[in-house]
């Protein structure tokens, strides 16, 4: 599903960059995934492991750093981490108007190659 297309994108990007850097094997890949990105880390790792076997990333371990969802209150400018699955109110003023500042990341940071 969704995780599979994300895993395919990751595999393409890291394989190309590995080859371009003159290496032949990827040992690990580090990702940063926001909790509001709609991606389940376990499902992404599962999908990556399922498609990597015929590639130069066949032995690669996928490490995922999860980024919390943070909000910035429009009423009192309080910056807060959204703990719940649902977003409710600003913890400081209980206001319900806020912007999401982080948590939507879908980034590849770096990788270990040999």
Angle in degrees, 0-180, between the axes of helices 41-51 and 2-20, rounded to the nearest 10: 60
In the complex with other proteins, which residue's Cβ is closer, 53 or 110? 110
Q: Which of 19, 25, 42, 76 binds Zn ion (CB under 5 A)?
A: 76
CA distance 62 to 57: 10
Q: Which residues contact other proteins (rule: CB under 8 A)? A: 1-2, 4-6, 9-10, 12-14, 17-18, 21, 23, 29, 31, 36-38, 85-88, 96-98, 100, 104, 106-114
**Residue 58 Cβ, how far from other proteins at the closest point, in Å?**
17
Q: Which two tokens stand for residue 55?
A: 């590639």
Residue 11 sits at φ, ψ, to 5 deg, of -60, -45
């Amino acid at each position: 599903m969704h995780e599979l297309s994300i895993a395919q994108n990751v595999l393409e990007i890291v394989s190309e960059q590995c080859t371009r850097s003159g290496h032949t094997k990827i040992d690990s890949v580090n990702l940063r995934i926001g909790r509001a990105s709609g991606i389940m880390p376990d499902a992404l790792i599962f999908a990556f492991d399922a498609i990597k076997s015929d590639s130069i990333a066949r032995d690669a371990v996928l490490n995922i750093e999860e980024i919390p969802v943070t909000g910035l209150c429009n009423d009192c400018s309080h910056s807060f981490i959204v703990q719940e699955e649902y977003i409710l109110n600003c913890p400081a003023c209980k206001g319900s108007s806020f912007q999401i500042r982080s948590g939507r990341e879908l980034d590849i940071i770096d990788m270990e190659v040999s």
